[in-house]
Copies of this chain bind each other. A is one copy, B any other.
Amino acid sequence: MTLYVNLAELLGARIEQGLYRPGDRLPSVRALSLEHGVSLSTVQQAYRHLEDQGLATPKPKSGYFVPQARQQPALPMVSRAAQRPVDISQWDQVLELISRPPGGDVLQLGRGMPDISSPTLKPLLRTLSRMSRRQEVKELSYGSLYGDPGLRAQLSRLMLDSGCQIAIEEIVTTTGCHEALSVAIRAVCEPGDIVAVDSPSFHGVMQALKGYGMKALELPTDPLTGISLEALELALEQWPIKAIQLTPNCNNPLGYIMPEVNKRALLALAQRYDVAIIEDDVYGELAYSYPRPRSIKSFDEDGRVLFCSSFSKTLAPGLRAGWIAPGRYLQQVLHLKYMSTGMAAQLPQLALAEYIASGHYEPHLRRMRSQYMRNRDCMIDWVSRYFPAGTRVSRPQGGFMLWLELPQGFDSQRLNRVLQPYNIQIAPGSIFSAAGKYRNCLRINYAGQPTPALEQSIRQVGECVAALLAEQQLVHNSAEVAVTP
């Protein structure tokens, strides 16, 4: 990474974390040059970079300042604790969301699709193309059950960034994070077992729990700090919970990053009650702050954390290239993977190994992180402008998903039907809950470049929401506006 980008990310993270507040003067160019041992022009470049990102404003002859606070919409409310573990439903709604491939006439705001038009993906496509030209055993043949050793070596290195020291032998590649989560759940639980989950939570896991006959216990989850540890402890006391499944970094759908102290506390609870943790890190590398947040796995001492991830959000979902670091459950995971797919497609694994080894992955991540951060601000702006006043909005610290909350009684499935003539689809909130909660919420994607056409679509969604609210005579009971940097 170039020096100025490094420095800009560091400063950006400090601003994001609130170390410098809106209106504050940022350190002088000279001071930063001395502090970090870089040239004056490097610092100036870093500031220009921050300016581009809207994180710093120059004032003539006074230096750089943190821009004045914008009004931010209120955050979604913390979900209430579930009364008991429940069987999972909502499959028909999930099916509706995913049965149409992206790229058609419909603007699929509901799907977890990254921006795949970035030029930083080109080297990956060139590698895929070059590898296919030669006719070699490796691309066409069965691979090892563990997955391609070259890719696993790169994964072992990548995982260092989240604080994990994982040997190549402890990593197994999978067909997407989906398969990783699916085998993780079965490695740890039997049908009938209870799994504690953050709430709202990824619908893929919900449906897997449903399919394997397990029950989900949804725990209250704060939109900024994640799963409630108090509620978790109470639940562990009360129920024979087998595993905790959660997405602590750049949570889907809420976007928060769980504070490190909470991650440690959660692990301590898991140790105390001897339950496994299934950690979904699929968005973790898309955190806007630098360095990327640590995983719970990085604190794991006795192999109880099954770390699941993939390149579906960072690069492209069509590759179906995921992995799992299953700790003490390695043997079960190997058998379950053999049962489920035998092995993953070879070509994507080989091409990814080369793409990462050649140093293309890091610049790509950097680009996507800052693009998604800019897009987030833009999307929150649009929602504030075009949605009814009082719409509650998440404040994602990574990834490319926004969670919106409307008054109780609002029906986001109905919204989808109303949006059909406009060829727009959102993700109804109910699929993120085992029990069909969050009908009044929706998730939208802000991965793509913010174009006037996209703005128009968001405006359209906002108008439809307003119309539905008016029709149902619903108002925001507890609308409030928070001011944050």
Identity of the chain B residue whose Cβ is nearest the Cβ of A91 in the assembled complex: B335
Interface string of A331-345 (1 = CB under 8 A from B): 000111011111111
Are A318 and B340 closer than 8 Å at their CB atoms?
no
* Chain B residues positioned under 8 Å from A344 (CB to CB): 175, 320, 345
Are A340 and B341 closer than 8 Å at their CB atoms? yes
Q: Report the Cα distance A122→B142, complex, angstroms.
A: 18
Q: Closest approach, in angstroms, between the C-beta of A67 and any C-beta of chain B?
A: 35
Is the interface on chain A under 10, 10 to 19, 20 to 34, or 35 or more residues? Answer: 35 or more
Residue interface bits A128-151, CB-to-B below 8 A is 1, else 0: 111011110111111111100000
CB nearest to A342 among chain B residues: B178
Q: How many copies does the complex hold?
A: 2
How many Å lie between the Cα of A128 and that of B136 in the bound state? 13
A117 touching B135 in the complex, CB below 8 Å, given contacts A320-B345, A345-B319: yes
Contact A140 B341 (CB under 8 A): no
Chain B residues with Cβ under 8 A from A146's Cβ?
99
Which among A206-214, A227-235, A239-247, A456-464 touches the partner chain?
Answer: A206-214
A364 to B41, CA, bound (A): 62
Measured between beta carbons, the chain B residues less than 8 angstroms from A347 are 128, 318-319, 347-348
Which residue of B has the minimal Cβ distance to A129?
B132
Contacts of A103 in B (CB 8 A): 137-138, 141
Min Cβ gap A112→B in Å is 8
Rounded to whole Å, the gap between the CB of A382 and the closest CB of chain B is: 24
> Would you call A133 and B141 a contact (CB within 8 A)?
no
Q: List chain B residues, Cβ under 8 A from A316.
A: 139-141
Let me know if A142 and B113 touch, CB within 8 A: yes
Q: Is the pair A318, B346 in contact by a Cβ cutoff of 8 Å? A: yes
Q: Which of B142, B175, B319, B345 contacts A101 (CB 8 A)?
A: B142
| A111: min CB distance to chain B, Å | 7
| A residues 96-129 in Cβ contact with B at 8 Å | 98-103, 111, 113, 116-117, 121-122, 125-126, 128-129
Contact A318 B133 (CB under 8 A): no
A371 at the interface (CB under 8 A from B): no
What B residues does A121 contact at CB under 8 A?
135, 140
Q: Once bound together, how far apart are the Cα atoms of A125 and B311, in whole Å?
A: 24
CB neighbours of A340 from chain B (8 A): 178-179, 182, 340-341
Chain A, 26-57, CB within 8 A of any chain B CB: none
CB contacts (< 8 Å) of A343 on chain B: these are 176, 320
Q: A176-B343, A207-B338, A320-B343 are in contact. List 8 more A-B contacts (CB 8 A).
A: A94-B338, A101-B142, A129-B129, A175-B179, A179-B342, A212-B339, A318-B345, A340-B341
- 11 A-B pairs (CB sep. < 8 Å): A98-B144, A98-B145, A101-B142, A101-B144, A126-B132, A141-B318, A143-B318, A175-B341, A175-B342, A340-B341, A344-B345
Interface residues, chain A, CB within 8 Å of chain B? 91, 94-95, 98-103, 111, 113, 116-117, 121-122, 125-126, 128-130, 132-135, 137-146, 175-176, 178-179, 182, 186, 191, 204, 207-208, 210-212, 315-320, 334-336, 338-348
